[in-house]
Chain A
Amino acid sequence: MDFYGINPAVLIASLMVASVPIMLAAIGELVVEKAGVLNLGVEGMMIMGAICGFITAVHSGSPLLGFLGGAAGGAVLSLVFILLTQVFLANQVATGLALTLFGLGLSSLLGQGYNGIKPPPTGVLPLGPLADIPFFGRVLFTHDWMVYGSIAVVAAVWAVLKYTRAGLILRAVGESHDAAHALGYKVVRIRVLAILFGGAMAGLGGAYVSLVRVPQWTDGITAGAGWIALAIVVFASWRPWRVLVGAYLFGGISVLQLNLQASNAFPIRIPVEYLAMSPYLITIIVLVIMSSGRGRASLNAPAALGQNFHASR
């Protein structure tokens, strides 16, 4: 069952793998934004996660430790964001950009000497006979544990935000930090935890890029995935399950364009560069659709998004 040399089962299976990094980064950023903080440093935290995870995995020989190292790398970089925006009350937009610029430089510095090395392979989770089911077995049950882990994270974030007291407090802080403060909640502490979670998730996503998706280290390996993750949060209108849909949509586009680069499907060959730019272009188009007209996603944004909180007022 092939279409122009593209097998749909393989396509969907690789789409699920391709969407893991942006899904993780986006669900982390969703929590951060729900707490009323706009962290534009996702790209920087992702690439720090990519290099920290890569280095840990190469030296320990364990992909699991690699992913933990990646999450730690992203979280440590997010500490800088916490210090600047929560303690020094710096502008969140500028600090996020600084985080990305710094992360790109530092990751390239740390990554010196790691070019061309292969990380330890992350194995497929053995699911026994499930993988033998025709079509669905190939699509759903031939993945590494991170693919299922990322979906579990989305489910967990959804459940926590919707059904728990902690989720309610987090959303309250994001909607009106002054009201939450008046009720006695520790606004800064809650935001710090949210930012750390976002950093760890972005780092985890970055580690997935360098350990599974590309399995190698090159400078700038995340190639804008962090910015796409930020766009997916807007696309998702700050709703967790839509993050999953968005990530699959963009994972699908990036896999499809890679497949088209390899296949001779069309009578007119589209140059590789135009295919390579398509995920970014489609992200922009989706942003436009979501931001305009009836589907105005921005109406759903947390009310205190991007505003700093200072208790003495």
Chain B
Amino acid sequence: MLILEKRPTPSRFWAWGTPFLAVILTMIAGGLMFAILGKDPFEAIRTIFWDPLFNAQFAAYSRPQLLVKAGPLILIAIGLSLGFRAGIWNIGAEGQYIMGAVCGAGVGLALYPLEAWFIFPLMVIAGAIGGLIWAMIPAILKTQFRTNEILVSLLLVYVAENILASMSLGLLRNPEGGGFPGSRNLGQYPSAANHELIAGTGMHWGVVAAFIAVIAAYILLQRHILGFQIKLAGQAPRAARFAGVSPNKLVILCMGISGALAGLAGLFEVAGPAGQISIDFNSGYGFTAIIVAFLGRLNPIGILLAGLLMALTYIGGELAQFMLGLPSAAIQAFQGMLLFFLLAVDLLSNYRIRFPLLMKEAR
């Protein structure tokens, strides 16, 4: 039998080692899952993790897609990680993402067909505010009424999905769309479109925003008093209160930042890669970003890398769907598995594992 022994301080080695170990374990377990589905596990893993980057035939298309997918994931995960560090669980990023897209696209569509330089910046602001307001609902209910923010932010996802459906069938529906649900395509409205900035790289304003968010979060956590307060509140809530950190202020700030970033991600997505508001516009980025935040160990640089890795599983998953007929749901299960393994191996950084029986034999 094995015995767990609490480490006096968390292991530095395993703090960095666990994400890599989790990825390897997920590949093994995922390979088993693919084998059960009747696919060659080695080919499946290679198609997901190697071909999108290095296969001459696909890389030209896939590599730019990496940034397109990673952008929103990183942007949302950075926001979530601040709250998670302080013990504030905003799980409703998916809803904030939808509301950001709806508000931002709404501003753009309201101004159609006006052409002016200020339209896109205005949409960006509206998108951030949309997400912010949606995140303020659980934040204010938590600070005023002590309502559980996990449940409220999550239930609001379903409300947001219904608002999205209502918008794409009603208020924002394309009047020239022949009665089909969905808004005008913002990609064809130059003043509102979020185009590729450098052709062939997939780099759009959302990706730029994601990089800025990574740098800003890094500085915030390393150099700013607010970052210190967030870390303190998460590690020692009582000490934080004695040090004069207001829990309510932290809730409002962390939820606000993560809501605004999720809203931004939604706006950049609707004005760029997605192009329009439609009933099934949301694609689960808000939920996958939770995995990204944990995989990146709630650290901005880690989240950057984790976001790129998770984007790779999306693109590789699509490729595997196309090449091997692997069901798209398999990738979702694969991503869920990654979070499991990550949480499981996290044990290694806080506990030492001892094998008393083996040691007795050795003596």
Contact = CB atoms under 8 A, between A and B. Distances in A.
Contacts of A91: 343, 346
A296 B148 CA distance: 12
Most buried by A among B290, B332, B340: B340
A312 B148 contact: no
Given A98-B339, A101-B339, A108 B332 contact: yes
A26 interface: no
Interface stretch (A11-19, A125-133, A206-214, A277-285): A277-285
Interface stretch (B67-75, B156-164, B260-268): B156-164
Interface in A75-134: 80, 83-84, 88-91, 93-95, 97-98, 101-106, 108-109, 112
Interface stretch (A2-10, A59-67, A194-202, A224-232): A224-232
Nearest to A40: B150
B339 A102 contact: yes
Contacts of A97: 91, 290, 339
A136 interface: no
B151 A310 contact: no
Interface residues of A, number: 49
A94 B166 contact: no
Nearest to B336: A102
Interface residues of B, number: 50
A273 B343 contact: no
Interface in A287-311: 287-288, 291-293, 296, 298, 310
A178 to B, nearest CB: 15
Contacts of B337: 102
Interface stretch (B39-47, B101-109, B138-146, B299-307): B138-146
A287 B6 CA distance: 37
Contacts, number: 143
Interface of A: 40, 80, 83-84, 88-91, 93-95, 97-98, 101-106, 108-109, 112, 219, 223-224, 227-228, 230-231, 234, 271, 273-274, 276-277, 280-281, 283-284, 287-288, 291-293, 296, 298, 310, 312-313
A150 B235 CA distance: 42
Nearest to B332: A105
Contact of A274 (B166, B330, B335): B166
Contact of B344 (A88, A102, A104): A88
Contact of B89 (A93, A223, A231): A93
A83 B333 contact: no
Interface of B: 3-6, 37, 89, 91, 141, 144-148, 150-152, 154-159, 162-163, 165-166, 169-170, 287, 290-291, 294, 327, 329-337, 339-340, 343-344, 346-347, 350-351
Contacts of B347: 88-90
B147 A287 contact: yes
Given A280-B155, A287-B147, A94 B333 contact: no
B151 A90 contact: no
A84 B344 contact: yes
A84 B340 contact: yes
Given A83-B344, A276-B162, A310-B6, A287 B333 contact: no
B152 A287 contact: yes
A272 to B, nearest CB: 8
Contacts of A283: 151, 155
A249 to B, nearest CB: 15
B351 A112 contact: no
A98 B336 contact: yes
B343 A101 contact: no
A280 B325 CA distance: 37
B145 A102 contact: no
Given A90-B347, A287-B148, A102 B340 contact: yes
Contacts of B3: 312
Contacts of B334: 105
A25 to B, nearest CB: 14
A291 B147 CA distance: 5
Contacts of B154: 224, 227
B336 A105 contact: yes
B162 A273 contact: yes
A84 B141 CA distance: 31
A105 B335 contact: yes
B151 A273 contact: no
Contacts of B147: 284, 287-288, 291-292
B329 A84 contact: no
Nearest to A98: B339
A224 B343 contact: no
Given A104-B332, A287-B152, A273 B165 contact: yes
Contacts of A231: 151, 155
Given A94-B343, A234-B151, A273-B163, A284 B156 contact: yes
Contacts of B351: 89
A227 B37 CA distance: 30
Contacts of A312: 3-6
Contact of A287 (B151, B331, B335): B151
A93 B150 contact: yes
B343 A277 contact: no
A231 B154 CA distance: 11
Given A271-B166, A273-B169, A288 B145 contact: yes
Nearest to A43: B154
Contacts of B290: 97, 101
Given A84-B343, A109-B327, A101 B152 contact: no
Contacts of A224: 154-155, 157-158
Contacts of B159: 277, 280-281
15 contacts: A40-B150, A88-B343, A90-B344, A98-B343, A102-B336, A102-B337, A105-B333, A109-B329, A224-B158, A230-B151, A271-B170, A273-B166, A284-B152, A287-B141, A312-B6
